Amino acid sequence: MNLKHRNNVSVMGNGMATLVFSHGFGCNQAMWNYLAPAFVDRFRVVMYDLVGAGLSDLSAFDKAKYGTLDGYAQDLNEIIEAFAVGPVILVGHSVSAMIGTLADRQAPGRIAAHVMIGPSPRYIDDVDYTGGFKRSDIDDLLDTLDSNYLGWSSAMAPVIMGAPGQPALSDELRESFCRTEPDIAKQFARVTFLSDNRQDVIGLTAPVLILQSSDDLIAPLAVGEYLHRVLPNSTYCLVDNVGHCPHMSAPQACAAAMQRFLAPWAITDVG
């Protein structure tokens, strides 16, 4: 299988350690455009599109495999295996923070550290747990997804599917941003927002940087604080930002926090 084609993998930068950027629900790797360039001088940078998103190979979308986040975690480990050099730090936005957690549990020790941007181990409220959402909110989201193809139609599908992997952010990638085949988008929404990864997070031993927006509907403060509590090896960093994408709307603050956290791995060349 051609991973580069399946996940539209791009590799940039130079360094002794690798940053793997994994985007969240709704978008593609283009969302890293504001943050990733800050690291290419000291790290090898790997970005990819989750299967079903961006310019990934839509024909690789297997309903059963991607019926849980484990399928995505499996892909992530394959990408790490094929493209990473040296220690791996996973930078995961939103649901990808949990995909990274699952990948870590599948192959313990392979991921040296996690940067979690707006993470949430469970979106729906539970006994003694505040996720921020009710089940009916998620159904409402599925309804909204149903009404919005965002310009996606079956006519443009072949263009997306046939596109070869592009290393840099192309117009095509920009064009495909937030556009997903409706059925795939709905399944991913279900898998994302109905998942419960609280048990997977407990026992994660690798160092974790939690980047928490000060005002985030999707991952409220209580959730970031919860994660900081259950992850003993975690650093909690509150970023002054409105919205769920601080890496897009407050990239400097995010980069600064990450530079501090990543210092132990930021060696360019020993020679």
Partner 1 sequence: MSVDLFDNAACALAVTAEDGTILQANARFSEWLGLSSAELCGRRFQDLLTMGGRIFHQTHLAPMLRLRGSVTEVKLDMLHHDGHKVTVLLNGNKREQADAVVYDLALFGTTDRDKYERELLNARNLAEALLQEKTATEIALQQAQAQLSEAYAIAQRRALFAEQMVAIVSHDLKNPLTAIRMASDFLKRGERTTKEHQLLGHIAQSSERAHRMIADLLDFTQARVGHGITIKAAPLDLHAVIARAVDELRLAFPKATLEHQAQGHGDACLDADRVQQIIGNLVANSVAYGEPLQPITITSRLGDTSCEVAVHNHGAVIAQTLLASLFEPMTRGTDQGSGVRSVGLGLYIVRELARVHGGDVAVSSCAINGTTFTVKF
CB of 147 to partner 1, least distance (A): 4
- Specify the 3-state DSSP secondary structure of 226: helix
Residue 139 vs residues 20, 126, 184: alpha-carbon distances, Å = 32, 17, 16
**Counting Cβ atoms within 10 Å, is residue 156 exposed (0-12), middle (13-18) or buried (19+)?**
middle
Residue carrying structure tokens 């998103």: 53
Show which residues are catalytic: 94, 216, 244
Query: Which range of residues in 62-70, 72-80, 130-138, 199-207 is near partner 1 by CB under 8 A?
Result: 130-138
Identify the residue among 137, 172, 196, 225 touching partner 1 (CB under 8 A): 137
11 by Cβ neighbours in 10 Å (0-12 / 13-18 / 19+) ranks as middle
Q: Per-residue x/- mask for partner 1, residues 46 to 85, rule CB under 8 A?
A: ----------------------------------------
Q: Candidates 30-38, 39-47, 154-162, 200-208 — which segment interacts with partner 1 by CB under 8 A?
A: 30-38
Closest approach of partner 1 to the CB of residue 215, in Å = 8
Sign of the torsion formed by the C-alpha atoms of 86, 92, 97 and 103: negative
User: Whose Cβ is closer to partner 1: residue 100's or residue 220's?
Assistant: 220
Question: Which residue type does 1 have?
Answer: M
Q: What angle do CA 122, 128, 132 make, to 5 degrees?
A: 45
Residue type at position 160:
I
**Applying CB under 8 A, does 266 fall inside the site for partner 1?**
no
Q: Give, as one character, the DSSP assignment of residue 86.
A: S
Region near partner 1 per CB under 8 A, out of 41-49, 82-90, 236-244, 263-271: 236-244
Buried-state track 182-195, b at ≥16 Cβ within 10 A, e below 16? bebbbbbbbbbbeb
**Least CB distance to partner 1 at residue 270 (A):** 37
The amino acid at residue 143 is D
Q: Output 10 or 234, the one with its CB closest to partner 1.
A: 10
If one asks whether residue 140 binds partner 1 (CB under 8 A), the answer comes out as yes
Cα–Cα distance measured from residue 201 to residue 129, given in angstroms and rounded to the nearest whole number = 15
For the bound state, the minimum distance from the C-beta of residue 271 to partner 1, rounded and expressed in Å, comes to 38
Least spacing, CB of residue 49 vs partner 1, in Å: 14
Footprint of partner 1 (CB under 8 A): 24-27, 30-31, 33, 94, 133-134, 136-148, 150-151, 174, 177-178, 193, 216-218, 242-245, 248-249
